[in-house]
Structure formats: structure tokens, C-alpha cells
Chains A and B, each alone.
Chain A
């Protein structure tokens, strides 16, 4: 189990690093799919079975499809990253990242948190059922608010992407060539 965790973690870190480093946005998006899938594997190891499947369905299945559609619409090639200003910003970015990482690991190494709870009672019913019961009783109100959030997102997207006139994408310059 420890080895599986290490394997998934290595895959996750490597693919998310490639997301950040790769110049081609399409390749970045595909590595992000790999990262999400390996994160799903880690959720499985942490006994969050339903979350793992939802991770694959929602993130790798739906959100990344949206990313790919937009990348294909914009028709991006390799990013050009040149110039002194860009180099300075890159250096600063990596510096900030290194400081943050060192800080995080210093905090984790302090072991102020509770240690791993060993084993614990195995749940008799399925993970999905337990989630359902908590979600629809204790978290009823956030759940209903979620639907409002989705409604607002839906309307927002239509207003931004189609304009107020209701005409289909007025200056749709992206018609593909025959």
C-alpha cells in the first residue's frame, strides 16, 4: 500500500510538473488528465472510493474536455517565452515556490498534528451510502446553495459567450475550413 501510494505520488508530481513546464498547451492539458487520474488512485488508497470515481468523471472527464475545446478553439501553438522580463519572472516564480515548499515541509516535519489513526473501524456500509446520508441531512443547505451556484455559472457563461442579443456567437471567426 505504501508502495502504491509512492508510485501514484511520483506519477502525480511528475505529471503536474510537466503541466507547468511543457510549452504546448495541449500536452499540458493531457498531462493534467494523467495527474487527475493518479490523484484518483491516491483517493482510493485513502479509502475515499466515491470521491476517487467522481474525481475521474468530473475532472478528467468533463473539466479537461472543456479545456481541450478552448485550446482547440484558440488554436494555440508553442508558447514563446523570451526576453529579460520573462526570465526574471520565471526566476522569481521558482524562488517563491522553493520558499513555500521549504516552509510547508518545515511545518509538516514538526509533527504537531495527530499521528496516523491506526486502522479504525471498517465501515459496514458502502462509502457512497455514508456520503449520501451525511450530504442530504447535515449538509442540506450547502447542497441547495450548490444548485444556485451552478445556475449562476450557467447564466454567466451564456451571457459572456453569446452576448446579450441571443445571437449565436456574433463574430465567430473560428469556422473551420472546408
Chain B
């Protein structure tokens, strides 16, 4: 053990990952890439959980990660099914071309 990783490093990495996810959601129009960016944000939250758990010598952070992963899996399954249906109906996965409700 040649030193412990400071909590602030992990938090900075988590914040960076989250911001990359936010930028991905805002910048891209492809619904699939937006979904991947959402996964990045969820992973940033997971990293913060694990980092805090390590710093507080507690396992609770790691257990929350399991629940987040379960939610992510369910969300991906349903979300991708919605994208598939959207593609069948409108022949597009670009979110700004789906403007049926705009009138």
C-alpha cells in the first residue's frame, strides 16, 4: 500500500465524468448516444458513492451502487425498446426530428 487516493481526487473524477455526460446529452441528437451519456452520468454517481464509502469506511456506498446498477439495467432495457419502437414509427433516432407534439 503506497498511499491512499485522496477523496477529492475521486470526487473530481466523478464530477468530470458527470459533466461529460451532461455535455453529451446536450450536444448530441442521436437518442442512442444520449442514452450512453446518461449511463456515464449514472456511473459518475456510482463513483462518488464508492469514493465516499471508502473515505467513511462504510459499505453502504457500495451497496447503493448495486441498486443504481439495477435501475440502470431496467432503464436501458425499457429505454432501448422505446427507441426501437420510435425507429419503427418514424424511421429516425434523432431527438429533434421527433416533434409530433409541437403541433
CB distance from B45 to the nearest CB of A (A): 12
The CA-CA distance from A46 to B84 in the complex, in Å, is 38
CB-contacts of A90-148 with B (<8 A) = 90, 92-94, 96-97, 100-101, 104-105, 108-109, 111, 113-121, 127, 130-131, 134-135, 139, 142, 146
Q: Per a CB cutoff under 8 Å, which of A2, A12, A59, A70 touches B17?
A: A12
CB distance from A105 to the nearest CB of B (A): 7
The CA-CA distance from A68 to B26 in the complex, in Å, is 22
Q: Per a CB cutoff under 8 Å, which of B5, B11, B36, B60 touches A5?
A: B5
CB distance from A70 to the nearest CB of B (A): 5
Q: What sequence of 0s and 1s flags, for each residue 27-54 of chain B, a beta carbon within 8 Å of any chain A beta carbon? A: 1111011011101100100110011011
CB distance from B40 to the nearest CB of A (A): 5
Q: What sequence of 0s and 1s flags, for each residue 78-99 of chain A, a beta carbon within 8 Å of any chain B beta carbon? A: 0101000110011011101100
B interface, how many residues as a size bin?
35 or more
Q: Which single residue of chain B is at the shortest CB-CB distance from A151?
A: B74
- B20 and A16 contacting across the interface, CB-CB below 8 Å: yes
**Which residues of chain A are within 8 angstroms of B103 by Cβ–Cβ distance?**
none
**Which residues of chain A are within 8 angstroms of B98 by Cβ–Cβ distance?**
none
CB distance from B49 to the nearest CB of A (A): 9
The CA-CA distance from A43 to B43 in the complex, in Å, is 11
Q: Per a CB cutoff under 8 Å, which of A16, A48, A109 touches B40?
A: A16
**A119 in contact with B36 given A70-B83, A73-B84, A149-B70 (CB within 8 Å):** no
- B63 and A94 contacting across the interface, CB-CB below 8 Å: no
**A97 in contact with B70 given A20-B37, A70-B83 (CB within 8 Å):** no
13 sampled A-B residue pairs with Cβ under 8 A = A25-B32, A28-B33, A29-B32, A35-B40, A50-B62, A54-B66, A66-B76, A74-B87, A94-B27, A104-B15, A113-B11, A120-B57, A135-B63
Which residues from chain B sit less than 8 Å from chain A, CB to CB? 1-13, 15-24, 26-30, 32-33, 35-37, 39-40, 43, 46-47, 50-51, 53-57, 59-60, 62-63, 65-67, 69-78, 80-85, 87-88, 93-94, 96
